[in-house]
Amino acid sequence: MAGIAASISWLGSQLSCCHNNLPALALSLVLLALLLDYVKRRKRSSRWPPGPTPLPFIGNLLLLDVKNPHKSVQDLEKKFGPVISLQFGWRNMVILSGFKTIKEALGQNPENFVDRAAVPLLNLINRGKNCGGIVVATCDNGWREQRRFFVSLLKNFGKGKPRLEERVSEEAGYLCSEFKSKEGSPFDPQILIYRAVSNIICTLTFGGRFEYSDEKFLKIMHPLQEILKEVTRNLPQLIVAGSWFSRFPGPHRELQKRYEEVSTTLREIVNEHKKTRDPTFPRDLIDAFLDEMDKAKGKPENSFNERNLINIIFDLFGAGTDTASSTLLWGLLNMVDHPEVQKRVQEEIDEEIGRVRSPVMEDQLKLPYTCAVIHEIQRCADILPVAAPYTTHRDTEVGKFIIPKETVVFNHLSSVLKDETMWEKPHEFYPEHFLDADGQFVKREAFLPFSLGRHACPGEQWAKAELFLFFTNLLQHFTFRIPENYPRPKTERLFALTVHPAPFQICAIPR
């Protein structure tokens, strides 16, 4: 180590004496960066997880397949095992794979993974101290109190007004009307499903739904979709954005622009709520949040501020819409690919509910096969292959390795949903995964589409209600088929933070 210290001291002296010689200065900076990178790797424990050798400056960024980062992780897992170390830029990262490994980490040591990893990019879109939103907020910028607020809001939503379940059923009716208007002709269901799911978030957030062609509604939806596309196209650059990278032109500038477009519309809606709200009767999330802002006046360190309200609404649309809509699209694809499954679901719905009464959540107990199919759709869709990153609170032992404190950790959820040691037919669509010998629905321990630990999805029950009610309503009223003389829809998986299917045409034949 004395030799390394001497080398750093020598480089420092070279930097001080060649500040007027730009080529020499550049060379000295490069040498210093290489040396620091070497020192950083030398300091790693002998129990540091294995992984590919990082390149100076960029680390392992070139290994990331932007079109399918999940495939990159799979390849690394085959070579290095279930605990893999990577380096992105200067940051050390670890990826955990497989049910056993992830359960050991998050199940046995949840407090060690209680914090989110800081994402420098978020500083470029107004997510600094006490305004980190909820999905990727860290403990020091309001995650705990915002999670409590959101869980409480979902629990109490509907008191004195229609419950969230009733709102979902109502929206499912509007969606069925849109499908019926196609009169059995081929159409792409993506836009209609995306807007139907978005309207549930509008109901929760704004107190009511929009018509699918409403101008204000579209001013929110279009930029959100563009943001997802922009993130997907430029993932490696955006991973390091927010540090020195942010000083240069690049994709993060377009992301900022789109973010401001959505924020402007959301601020208009918040301002309308300020004028019309009744503090004794909150109508929605915005009213409830404004009430909390009133209570928090004089407490500058709290996270109930208007800037954070915009970020939380943004998170709900960005996370909630894409996940549920993608899952429903995969569900329709699975139904046309497996008409025998579709028929059996319809027979069960006809027998237990009929074709007149709308399904309700209590019907789940009567529809074991339908519930098994919905769970298998989620398992196969695998829409969130890699969950948002954590950072370790302290040194943590996972398997035979030590993950040091403040290491960024990703969970490879796809490796759990397709774990060959946990599922009979992990790479096939097989609803019987969730049925016992008597045909009754059974929960599976390795079914973790909503993740695990302290950061498991807080809206899990809400999402389950959406999937059950939308899916059963659609199958109650329609039979889905591939249009005549059309090729079978592609099963290609397109990555856009979540995984969605390639655009496809379908026929919804009224029953």
pLDDT tens profile 308-345:
999 899 888 878 888 999 999 999 999 999 999 999 99
pLDDT confidence bin for 159, thresholds 50/70/90? low
Close Cβ partners of 340 (under 8 Å, ≥ 6 residues apart): none
pLDDT the model gives residue 315: 86
Q: pLDDT averaged over the chain?
A: 84
11-20, 300-309, 359-368, 433-442: segment of lowest average pLDDT: 11-20
pLDDT the model gives residue 71: 80
pLDDT the model gives residue 248: 52
Q: Which helix (H) or strand (E) holds 361?
A: none
Greater confidence, 121 or 443? 443
Burial of 172 (0-12, 13-18, 19+ CB in 10 A): buried
What average pLDDT does this structure show over 478-496?
87
Greater confidence, 94 or 54? 94
Looking at 3.10.20.30, 1.10.10.60, 3.40.50.720, 1.10.630.10, the CATH number of the domain 44-510 comes to 1.10.630.10
- Per-residue pLDDT reduced to its tens digit, 431-468: 999 999 999 999 999 999 988 887 888 888 889 999 99
**Is residue 425 over pLDDT 50?**
yes
What average pLDDT does this structure show over 416-444?
96
What average pLDDT does this structure show over 101-126?
77
For the chain, the helix, strand and coil percentages under 3-state DSSP, each to the nearest 5: 55, 10, 35
Give the position of tokens 């940051």.
91
pLDDT the model gives residue 334: 96
**Is residue 235 over pLDDT 60?**
no
Greater confidence, 15 or 338? 338
pLDDT the model gives residue 175: 97
Q: Can you list the pairs that 270-274 forms with residues at least 24 positions away whose Cβ atoms lie under 8 Å? A: 270/306, 270/309, 270/310
pLDDT confidence bin for 406, thresholds 50/70/90? confident
What average pLDDT does this structure show over 162-171?
86
Q: What is the pTM of this model?
A: 0.87
Greater confidence, 432 or 232? 432
pLDDT the model gives residue 30: 58
Give residue limits of the domains in the chain.
1-43, 44-510
**Is residue 244 over pLDDT 50?**
no
pLDDT the model gives residue 236: 53
Burial of 401 (0-12, 13-18, 19+ CB in 10 A): buried
CA distance 262 to 429: 38
CA distance 173 to 369: 23
The greatest distance separating any two alpha carbons of the chain, rounded to the nearest whole angstrom, comes to 86
What percentage of residues in the chain have a pLDDT greater than 90?
47
- Calculate Rg over the CA atoms of the chain: 25
Highest averaged pLDDT of the listed ranges 64-73, 119-128, 364-373:
364-373
Q: Is 457 annotated as a binding residue?
A: yes
pLDDT the model gives residue 225: 76
pLDDT the model gives residue 451: 86
- Per-residue pLDDT reduced to its tens digit, 78-105: 999 999 998 877 778 899 999 999 999 9
Helix axes 306-315, 143-156, angle to 10 degrees: 60
For residue 507, the cross-strand partners are 481
Burial of 282 (0-12, 13-18, 19+ CB in 10 A): buried
**Is residue 2 over pLDDT 70?**
no
Closest alpha carbon to 188 in 199, 200, 179: 179
pLDDT the model gives residue 13: 55
**Is residue 56 over pLDDT 90?**
no
